[in-house]
Chains A and B, each alone.
Chain A
């Protein structure tokens, strides 16, 4: 069956520190991959999506970046975190235009 993993589950980082969040998918090949951010009590903001290895589309210019080094691995990074980067980060995948499957999320607090 298809599953999606995200880690870590929670993270507390100081302003200016680097960030690396990882997402992996099992049970399917060549998925479309997505990173979303959800501010407290708010909706979903699409940050990046990828339709193949090395193919990254950025939706919101900011100090975050994404990479897809393997077919089922999607990484969200930052060189220097800002306070405004705090939020709940969700990874998701889909096959074509069918429904998305979401990971459990990472709660990031930047202090």
Chain B
């Protein structure tokens, strides 16, 4: 079946450090892939997405590339800020059958000044 695995947190970084949050997936067909961010007490917001292999999604300095050969969609940012502290979720949408989304368990990021 479809699944998403992302690295366990929490991840603690100093401001301006490089960020990588790993995400791998298992899916049939050609899913779309997403990264969402959740700030404390709020709903999830779409951070970026990619709909086909080799697509790169980017937003607010964050990037992720849809790698079909490694079934991965790792999130990266070159220089994190304190305001990036949040929980990050990797997700996929299936392209057949039901209109369901599969989410990873979330990775909490804490950035220290």
B-binding residues in A (CB < 8 A): 32, 34, 41-44, 46, 49, 51, 57, 90, 92, 94, 96-105, 107
Contacts and interface: CB of A to CB of B under 8 A. Distances in A.
B103 A44 contact: yes
Nearest to A46: B100
B34 A99 contact: yes
Q: Is the interface of B mostly helix, strand, loop or mixed?
A: strand
Contacts of B104: 43
Contact of B95 (A34, A49, A90, A97): A97
Interface string B63-89: 000000000000000000000000001
B105 A43 contact: yes
A101 B32 contact: no
Given A43-B106, A44-B103, A46-B100, A97 B94 contact: yes
A102 B45 contact: yes
A90 B44 contact: yes
Contacts of B106: 42-44
B93 interface: yes
